[in-house]
Chain A
Amino acid sequence: MAQSTQSEYVTLVSCDGFEFIIPRSAACISGTIRRMLDPSSNFSEAVTGRCVLNDMTCVIDREWIRTTRSGVLVTRFTDVGSFAFFSAVVLEKVCEYFCYNEKHKDQANVPDMDVPAELCLELLMAADYLDT
């Protein structure tokens, strides 16, 4: 895939429809998103630069099913016990982290990022999923 087709920004969509536009380099800190956007994989996300984080599961079988829904390609994992935890609140924190990480990449003393206590368990699962 040619480099020119890759836009500088990617769009992350939460399960309740909120969109977050962040730099591609920041989003690629996450191993999962990096694999999604990998141009060699030829996934639709790589083409459109748009990741819909819809139903996230504890994935054992990484087989992806794609369905076209109003022009947006939706990524799902084949797993029965799926639960949606990428609500806009969680995804906002995730995007905040991406930018925080980008900012403090090479600093020696990194200040702690503030995480609300009620979100920390959901964020932990999100972090585990996103592989960051």
Chain B
Amino acid sequence: MDGEIPLPPPRRIRHRSPAHATSHAGTGSGSVASSFHKSRRLSRFDDRSSQPSSEPPLFSSDDIPASGVENYHAPVSTGAGRKRRYRGTWWGEQVIDPKRKRADFKEKRHVDSGVWMGSDESAAESFLSSEDGSAWGEDLLKTALNLRATAKSAAAPASLPAQSKTAFKRPEEPAEHRLARTVVADCLEKGQDSIDLGNLHLRTIPSGLLQPLQHLTKLPTVGEAPVSENVFTSLQPFLRIFLPNNSLSLLHHELFELADLKVLSVRNNKLTEISPTIRRLTALQVLNVSVNRLSYLPWELLWLVQQGELKHLTARPNSFLAIEEAQIAAWSHRSESKSDKPSQDPLQFREYEGSPPAEAWAPIHIATGPTKWLNMEGNPTSDNLSPSTIKTPAESSGATSAPSFREIALRAVSKLPYLEHVSDAELAEYPAMVVPLLRQAREVRIAGGQPCSVCGQEYVIPRTEWLEWWDCSPCENGMKGPRSSGEKLRPLPFRRFGCSVHCVLGS
């Protein structure tokens, strides 16, 4: 820098034989540590630390008595009140010339201290704004190219920031997604727990749209001076999401991560299937899936009705498979056979009038469709529809109740860390035969596991599939009341999966 620092007293030369040094290095870490301690202790005396590793530090003199906090605003007398500044080590201190130019200090401020402060605007700007970024890139290039004034170096800094700009630029989002995001952000801001995303022409739910709603908190309503009792309400949100009149064909998995969701409406969309992942919405109370293209509901929804909170399910109209047209393997509740099967007659509820039993509210199992056996890759086996295989499990093809080796490997794959972040392009690098299997494992992982509806075992590839018809009319008419006697049962189809060939109903 500016002044020469006076050198410390000359260092004493310590003689150490190389053999001694290597023996130290060769022994264990304990001896290394002890030798380190020794050298530290010695350093006091032979001034090892005398060589300043960085530029000499800057000190100021002790506080002048009148500079305390008490008289902070007191005018500082320029002469005697000013602190003295020293530069350099304690043995060779130098009084700094008080008449140094202000510009020098300014320059000094820009030296990187290695500590980034929130208020440090200069650093933040250089990272964020593109003008500074280009200047920074230019600087870097200049040093790298050693100031070669070629035409190349003049062109390169211009292209570098342009490249980085395009790399960080996100693809333009459709207008409806942006609108949906503003609606969600507005609800989060105001603490509204009713999110209305209807009539937005959404084809898909963009990722990251619904995730922040997990942390939605209601704002306390601060009223006028006379505080009444009803001011004290719960701040727990009663989360409601309305997505009617859109063009959704698939529900995003983020929707099923909202464990607090109470009301969900996807009325008038283009849904063809509802994912079994809906079982994760354990707090769901009202669900409207009417006016869609569903031919069946997931069996997990029935579980939500039976075990969960779901009280109001609006499923009709939909293109449900009619029970009259469907193939039925077993009837468990036949409304037509009143006379010959009185024990299974729906009219039995007449006897329980006055105190309705749980069954008057609960869904009633009407019928079960034929079981479809799926092969080890989850595709229907060829001899599916022949009546002989419907009765007997696929023993002939060597299937056992133990999971297949593919399934075991896939279960291990689905537990791999970071599987959900693997993109399709990365998956394509694997041999073509396992790519669909890996994709399936990734979907299961994203859905947060997939327990078998019969045995509860986590699985990846279903091996059995069948439809069940259940009557949920007390749920459907919106808690109007229990089944009245003689009421016509209106069963809904539910699709159910099993994880092994033995996971079928009645096993």
By the criterion CB–CB under 8 Å, are B412 and A115 in contact? yes
Count contacts on A: residues with CB < 8 A to the other chain. Answer: 35
Partner of B406, one of A29, A116, A119, A132: A132
Is B204 among interface residues, defined by CB-CB distance under 8 A?
no
Q: Which of A70-129 contact B (CB under 8 A)?
A: 94, 97, 100-101, 103-110, 112-113, 115-117, 119-121, 123-128
Contacts of A130 in B (CB 8 A): 405
Distance, CA A130 to CA B403, complexed state (A): 15
Of B258-266, B284-292, B431-439, the one with at least 4 CB within 8 A of chain A:
B431-439
Is B194 among interface residues, defined by CB-CB distance under 8 A?
no
- Least CB distance from A99 to B in Å reads 11
Contacts of A121 in B (CB 8 A): 409, 413, 430, 434
Q: Which of B355-397 contact A (CB under 8 A)?
A: 376
By the criterion CB–CB under 8 Å, are A123 and B412 in contact? yes
Partner of B401, one of A28, A105, A132: A105
In the complex where A101-B402, A110-B403, A112-B408 touch, is A128 in contact with B433 (Cβ < 8 A)?
Answer: yes
User: Nearest chain-A residue to B441 (Cβ)?
Assistant: A124
By the criterion CB–CB under 8 Å, are A123 and B411 in contact? no
User: Nearest chain-B residue to A31 (Cβ)?
Assistant: B398
Contacts of A31 in B (CB 8 A): 398
- Residue interface mask B32-59, A partner, CB < 8 A = 1: 0000000000000000000000000000
Partner of B502, one of A108, A112, A113, A117: A108
Q: Which of B425-478 contact A (CB under 8 A)?
A: 430-434, 437-438, 455, 457
By the criterion CB–CB under 8 Å, are A109 and B411 in contact? no
Distance, CA A2 to CA B389, complexed state (A): 31
Is A21 among interface residues, defined by CB-CB distance under 8 A?
no
Interface magnitude class on chain B: 20 to 34
Contacts of B305 in A (CB 8 A): none
By the criterion CB–CB under 8 Å, are B416 and A117 in contact? yes
User: Nearest chain-B residue to A120 (Cβ)?
Assistant: B412
Is B271 among interface residues, defined by CB-CB distance under 8 A?
no
Contacts of B403 in A (CB 8 A): 110, 112-113
Partner of B409, one of A100, A110, A124: A124
Is B500 among interface residues, defined by CB-CB distance under 8 A?
yes
Contacts of B413 in A (CB 8 A): 120-121, 124
User: Nearest chain-A residue to B459 (Cβ)?
Assistant: A112
Distance, CA A115 to CA B134, complexed state (A): 51
By the criterion CB–CB under 8 Å, are B401 and A108 in contact? yes
By the criterion CB–CB under 8 Å, are B409 and A120 in contact? yes
Is A1 among interface residues, defined by CB-CB distance under 8 A?
no
User: Nearest chain-A residue to B397 (Cβ)?
Assistant: A31
In the complex where A97-B405, A110-B500, A125-B433 touch, is A104 in contact with B400 (Cβ < 8 A)?
Answer: yes
By the criterion CB–CB under 8 Å, are A108 and B507 in contact? yes
By the criterion CB–CB under 8 Å, are B432 and A58 in contact? yes
Distance, CA A110 to CA B437, complexed state (A): 22
User: Nearest chain-B residue to A100 (Cβ)?
Assistant: B402
Is B415 among interface residues, defined by CB-CB distance under 8 A?
yes
By the criterion CB–CB under 8 Å, are B408 and A115 in contact? yes
By the criterion CB–CB under 8 Å, are A132 and B433 in contact? no
By the criterion CB–CB under 8 Å, are A125 and B434 in contact? yes
By the criterion CB–CB under 8 Å, are B401 and A110 in contact? yes
By the criterion CB–CB under 8 Å, are A124 and B406 in contact? yes
In the complex where A108-B507, A109-B455 touch, is A123 in contact with B409 (Cβ < 8 A)?
Answer: yes
Distance, CA A108 to CA B504, complexed state (A): 11
Is B404 among interface residues, defined by CB-CB distance under 8 A?
yes
Contacts of A110 in B (CB 8 A): 401-403, 457, 500
Distance, CA A127 to CA B457, complexed state (A): 21
By the criterion CB–CB under 8 Å, are B409 and A112 in contact? no
Contacts of B455 in A (CB 8 A): 108-109
By the criterion CB–CB under 8 Å, are B404 and A132 in contact? yes
By the criterion CB–CB under 8 Å, are A127 and B406 in contact? yes
Contacts of B457 in A (CB 8 A): 109-110, 112
- Residue interface mask A53-70, B partner, CB < 8 A = 1: 000001000000000000
- 11 A-B pairs whose Cβ atoms sit less than 8 Å apart in the complex: A31-B398, A58-B431, A110-B403, A113-B403, A116-B412, A120-B410, A120-B416, A124-B410, A127-B409, A128-B437, A132-B405
Nearest 4 pairs of A and B residues by beta carbon: A120-B412, A115-B412, A127-B405, A124-B409
Chain A interface (Cβ < 8 Å from any Cβ of B): 28-31, 34, 58, 94, 97, 100-101, 103-110, 112-113, 115-117, 119-121, 123-128, 130-132
